[in-house]
Amino acid sequence: MINLKLIDTNFDEFNKKLIAKKVDSKALKELLDLYNELKSTKLELENLQAIQNSKSKEVGIKARNGEDISELKKELDLNKQCVQTLQEKVNLLDESLNQKASHIPNIIDDDVPFGEDENDNAQLKKVLEIPKFDFEPKPHYELGESLGWLDFERGVKLSGSRFTAIKGLGAKLNRALVNYMIDFNISRGFELVNVPFVVKPEILYGTGQLPKFEEDLYKINEDELYLIPTSEVPVTNLYNDEILTDLPLKMTCYSHCFRREAGSAGRDTRGMIRQHQFEKVELVSITKADESDKVFDEMVSCASDLLTSLELPHRHMLLCSGDLGFSAAKTIDLEVWLPSQNCYREISSISNCRDFQARRAKIRYKDGKKNILAHTLNGSSLAVGRTLIAIMENFQQSNGSIKIPKVLEKYM
């Protein structure tokens, strides 16, 4: 949830940063009007409550002195009715404000470039040289089918489009990647956690998926539960509505992820780039406000070094305002080189959400006697399927076989 106090302190900057994130200025004006109405109504209510307290004391004094209090009691009863009416109005305005605010994304950090879409993202650096082939490199789906690793036809038979069965050595390499990623992240100080793959609606609200992105979620209607789109959701919410004393918390988690991919029709229809079910090893951190930049850099380095250890060429991209996710204040994408597409494709997104998710999920920490909203961060380390694809394409041989990166050999 955005910090609504920013409307009061610096609305112009607040407005500018949210419009840069493609929020309709009309929606922001409605939010401002509602906020001001709630503020003035609360002030009116407080004044009436003060009058009520003052008159109640006056009634008590006059009653003890044997004075006539009938007229005063009438005033008191009338004022009480006004207080109740205003309290109901405040409750309705507060509920309406929170409902509108729940659809407003996080504001961007000051160093995030303004831009419309991925074409305006800023390249920060490239890591490793892209491979050169003395033959025409094949796409992963051709390699996977010829080796018997990827079975798209039977995946579709089981579950429909955008589902894939992985078999044989492909499945073994997939598992090796999961185990290696977990071990790598643990060596960098991230604690391994296992979490449920289904969650309550309020848990998805805590990290910002609900109510705005319900169409992208798979729902179990009978139980009012949802399949997770990423383990960021349950891992961050492990500490939902808690006051923490020992920060930072740095966690890593393996999970399957489920996304309906609403609105992605016609994009990446061949192969395993965009699936409804995929595996991911995630990094999640909960920090104090003054430590989140440091932890963000650690998470970016962890994911990038992991790719480097797998000998996969990649680049760091600072996302512009128009390409940022709903909850993110700042994101660096790591994009891996795919020879068949002759371009880099996203394989990890590391985001600092500042206190946006913590405000929704009520995650706080003690600072002296005060409770302060924590900062939450998350990032893929890595998307397993896309890493498998990248290894297949970058390590392919002229005879159609696939070499295995040295660090994975013991896991195979």
Q: Are 163 and 155 in contact (CB under 8 A)?
A: yes
User: Does any domain span residue 174?
Assistant: yes
- Tell me, yes or no, whether 127 and 96 share the same domain: no
- Tell me, yes or no, whether 60 and 13 share the same domain: yes
| 202 marked as binding residue | no
Number of domains in the chain: 2
- Tell me, yes or no, whether 154 and 248 share the same domain: yes
| 230 marked as binding residue | yes
- Tell me, yes or no, whether 122 and 78 share the same domain: no
User: Does any domain span residue 108?
Assistant: no
Query: At 94, which CATH number?
Result: 1.10.287.40
- Tell me, yes or no, whether 125 and 49 share the same domain: no
| 3 marked as binding residue | no
User: Does any domain span residue 63?
Assistant: yes
**DSSP element (H, E) containing 358:** helix 356-361
- Tell me, yes or no, whether 288 and 374 share the same domain: yes
- Tell me, yes or no, whether 91 and 182 share the same domain: no
Residue 72 makes CB contacts below 8 A (sequence gap 6+) with 55, 58, 59, 62
User: How does pLDDT run across 228-250, given as a tens digit for each residue?
Assistant: 999 999 999 999 999 999 999 99
Structure-block tokens of residue 145: 């089918």
Q: Which domain holds residue 195?
A: 118-411
| 252 marked as binding residue | no
- Tell me, yes or no, whether 267 and 356 share the same domain: yes
| 7 marked as binding residue | no
Structure-block tokens of residue 318: 């600072």
User: Does any domain span residue 320?
Assistant: yes
pTM of the predicted protein model: 0.93
Q: What pLDDT shows up at residue 263?
A: 63
| 88 marked as binding residue | no
Q: What pLDDT shows up at residue 182?
A: 98
- Tell me, yes or no, whether 54 and 139 share the same domain: no
User: Does any domain span residue 109?
Assistant: no
User: Does any domain span residue 110?
Assistant: no
| 378 marked as binding residue | yes
- Tell me, yes or no, whether 9 and 59 share the same domain: yes
User: How does pLDDT run across 96-130, given as a tens digit for each residue?
Assistant: 999 999 999 999 999 999 999 999 999 999 999 99
**How many whole angstroms separate alpha carbon 54 and alpha carbon 213?**
49
Mean pLDDT of 174-200: 98
- Tell me, yes or no, whether 283 and 221 share the same domain: yes
Q: Which of 74, 101, 128 is the last residue of a domain?
A: 101
| 9 marked as binding residue | no
Q: Which of 43, 70, 101 is the last residue of a domain?
A: 101
| 162 marked as binding residue | no
Q: Phi and psi for 254 in degrees, rounded to 5? A: -95, 140
Q: Has residue 265 got a pLDDT over 70?
A: no
Query: At 150, which CATH number?
Result: 3.30.930.10
| 346 marked as binding residue | yes
User: Does any domain span residue 107?
Assistant: no
User: Does any domain span residue 154?
Assistant: yes
Q: Has residue 262 got a pLDDT over 90?
A: no
| 70 marked as binding residue | no
| 37 marked as binding residue | no
| 146 marked as binding residue | no
Mean pLDDT of 320-326: 97
User: How does pLDDT run across 44-96, given as a tens digit for each residue?
Assistant: 999 999 999 998 898 888 888 888 888 888 999 999 999 999 999 999 999 99
- Tell me, yes or no, whether 56 and 127 share the same domain: no
Per-residue DSSP letter, 396: B
